[in-house]
Structure 1
Amino acid sequence: MANTASAKKAVRKIEARTEVNKANRSRMRTYVRKVEEAAAAGDRDAANEAFKAAQPEIMKAVSRGILKKNTAARKVSRLAKRVKAASA
């Protein structure tokens, strides 16, 4: 356990940031899940709309430090591939 005042403050800050990061990660995953569900259902229009909404959310996660840039690019690419397969 933290002994010094600065260490205790650091623990508080870490806990607060963790909550924010969890919320942001959860938000991003919700958008991704909507795309995957629409693609799995074969609903082309819904999948396209969900993908258009999910792409900026994934990139926001990059700017917030939730994901690395290449990870986000890979996620977007794979989602695009699923949407394209669903529309075919």
Structure 2
Amino acid sequence: MAIVAIVAGVLFGAGGLLALYRIIRGPSVLDRVIASDVLVATVICALGAEMALNRHVDTLPVLLVLALFAVLGSLSVARFLSVRERS
């Protein structure tokens, strides 16, 4: 079980680093928004895996707040970009 946890941690870390790279180097705003969504999804999955491994639900409110911020952030950027394109 420890090997699975280590492999999952490495993969989550690699995904997070790649998303951070795309946030920094993204050629457009949409690339950065998608990368930030990927980063938040990676953090949510990592917290969920930690909850499953340690068999607790203490960080469940954190997962819900992160999911809410991810959805609201994506919707607000999409709305901002659609209004900006009309102008």
TM-score, normalised relative to structure 1: 0.46
Structure label with greater radius of gyration = 1
TM-score, normalised relative to structure 2: 0.47
Report 1 or 2 for greater relative contact order, CA contacts < 8 Å, sequence distance ≥ 6.
1
